[in-house]
């Protein structure tokens, strides 16, 4: 072979290897952390309607017609009444829900969110993968930052940011110091799992006698949050998460105990609300790994979740499907 041909072969070989590497990187991308569609000003680019278009293909009967939060009018007409009990519907809890909704008087999305030109959302899971991630500034740039339960931001700003647009929680996961971990206008979104959850909200907002009955862990007895910042999540999103993402039976929850985690519920909620859905801090250790801590803020392991009625491998499959279909993107690894 002449020297000229040898050069050609070498160039072709280098180009071929480079193309294979690029194709491999793009294929593997859903599992890789990295800068996604970053605009010049460092913010995430808006692809309006993108999530809606893709979710329509993947989630059976997907519709964005359901209100985000429960409202009094949900209970006015008999034909609107729910077919399921909490956490998948409101059947049997109508009276207490009406009472608490009359107290908060707000069921709408605040104007500061409603008027956003694009809803770029990030759902921040509580996972250990956020520790030392330095993702704080990246997370703060999203239009809507969803946080979960009592996950702290104070002293963890560098890794998780400090902007909280909405926080999904239930009484047992409510923070004892909500003003330290949230912004003055953060929406506190109660996820109602059972009737006592709604009774707790009524009691703390109305300063009535609190009861500890019906809770698996004592919730705060004093919870200093402005009623106008409180909402109750529409149980429709729990129903969709269980029945469409996890294929879990919602008809007899007492018999089929598996229930969605708050994180998967928040992802489902975001899929019905946002133009862009990114996630961070999701992913549990292998089920056999009883040493690895699961949270970015405390030293507990998978063992603590033994009685939780969640199936984390089942959920990982659901999240992986959403990542592979590029409906959501991940800022940490999965
Ligand atoms: C002991 C116990 O009941 N633990 C549950 C805790 C606990 O109640 C609260 O932290 C309040 O203390 O809440 C849960 O979840 P938790 O509050 O741990 O985490 C919130 C969501 O983040 C995602 N996550 C978390 C850790 C991890 N390593 N990988 C993850 O993907 C999950 O999607 C998770 O939902 C819950 O509400 O779902 C689920 C946990 O099972
Ligand atoms: C999203 O679910 C939340 C959390 O992730 C779960 O761990 C938690 O599970 C608790 C479960 O809901 C309790 N079941 C009932 C019917 O209340 C279960 O109860 C057992 C128990 C009872 C009394 C004292 C201790 C334990 O406890 C589970 C937690 O170990 O549900 C959360 C939503 O409420």
Residues of the chain where predicted confidence (pLDDT) is lower than 70: 1-5, 13, 15-42
Asked, for residue 72, whether it belongs to a domain, the answer is yes
The predicted pLDDT at position 37 comes to: 65
Give the span between the Cα atoms of 14 and 309, in whole angstroms. Answer: 52
Q: How far, in Å, is the centroid of ligand 2 from the Cα of 309?
A: 8
In this structure, what CATH number is given to the domain that contains residue 196?
A: 3.90.1480.20
Q: Residue 264: inside a domain, yes or no?
A: yes
Asked whether residue 51 is assigned to any structural domain, the reply reads no
170 CA from centroid of ligand 1 (Å)? 12
* Domain span holding position 312: 66-320
Helix or strand or coil: residue 217? Answer: coil
Element containing residue 262 per DSSP (H, E):
helix 262-271
SS3 225: coil
Asked whether residue 108 is assigned to any structural domain, the reply reads yes
**What is the distance between the alpha carbons of residues 64 and 272, in angstroms, rounded to a whole number?**
5
pLDDT attached to residue 4? 66
At 121, is the secondary structure helix, strand, or coil? strand
In a domain, 80, yes or no: yes
308 ligand 2 Cβ < 6 A: yes
Residue 1, pLDDT score: 54
| 149 CB within 6 A, ligand 2 | no
What is the pLDDT at residue 105? Answer: 77
Question: Residue 252 domain-assigned?
Answer: yes
Query: Is the CB of 261 inside a 6 Å radius of any atom of ligand 2?
Result: yes
Residue 330 lies in a domain: no
Collapsing DSSP states into helix, strand and coil, what is residue 86? coil
Predicted local confidence at residue 21, as pLDDT: 55
The number of helices, as runs of H, and strands, as runs of E, in the chain is 11, 7
> Structurally, how many domains does the chain consist of?
1
Burial (CB < 10 A; 0-12, 13-18, 19+), residue 324, is exposed
Q: What is the pLDDT of residue 252?
A: 76
Is-cis flag, bond preceding 229, omega within 30? no
Residue 226 lies in a domain: yes
Return the best residue to mutate from 87, 146, 308, 313 for the ligand 1 pocket (most ligand atoms within 8 A of CB): 308
Which-ligand-closest: CA of 160? 1
Return the pLDDT at 27.
Answer: 37
Closest CA to 183 of 281, 275, 113, 270: 113
């Amino acid at each position: 072979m002449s020297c000229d041909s040898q050069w050609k072969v070498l160039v072709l070989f280098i180009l071929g290897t480079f193309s294979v590497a690029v194709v491999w990187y793009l294929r593997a991308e859903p599992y890789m952390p990295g800068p996604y569609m970053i605009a010049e000003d460092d913010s995430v680019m808006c692809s309006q309607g993108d999530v809606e278009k893709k979710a329509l293909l993947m989630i059976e009967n997907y519709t964005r017609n359901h209100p985000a939060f429960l409202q009094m009018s949900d209970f006015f007409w008999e034909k609107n009444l729910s077919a399921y009990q909490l956490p998948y519907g409101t059947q049997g809890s109508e009276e207490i829900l009406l009472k608490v909704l009359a107290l908060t008087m707000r069921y709408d999305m605040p104007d500061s969110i409603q008027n956003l030109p694009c809803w770029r959302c990030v759902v921040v899971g509580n996972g250990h993968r956020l520790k030392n991630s330095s993702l704080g500034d990246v997370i703060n740039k999203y239009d809507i930052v969803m946080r979960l339960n009592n996950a702290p931001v104070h002293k963890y700003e560098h890794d998780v940011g400090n902007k909280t647009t909405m926080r999904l929680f239930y009484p047992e996961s409510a923070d004892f110091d909500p003003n330290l971990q949230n912004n003055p206008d953060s929406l506190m979104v109660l996820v109602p799992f059972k009737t006592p959850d709604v009774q707790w909200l009524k009691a703390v907002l109305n300063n009535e006698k609190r009861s500890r009955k019906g809770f698996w862990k004592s919730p705060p007895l004093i919870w200093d949050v402005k009623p106008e910042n409180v909402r109750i999540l529409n149980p429709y999103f729990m129903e969709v998460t269980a029945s469409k993402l996890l294929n879990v039976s919602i008809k007899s929850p007492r018999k089929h105990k598996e229930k969605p985690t708050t994180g998967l519920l928040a992802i489902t909620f975001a899929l019905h609300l946002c133009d862009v859905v990114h996630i961070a801090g999701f992913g549990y250790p292998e089920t056999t790994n009883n040493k690895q801590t699961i949270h970015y803020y405390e030293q507990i392991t998978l063992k603590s979740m033994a009685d939780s009625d969640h199936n984390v491998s089942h959920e990982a499959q659901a999240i992986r499907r959403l990542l592979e279909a590029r409906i959501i993107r991940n800022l940490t690894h999965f």
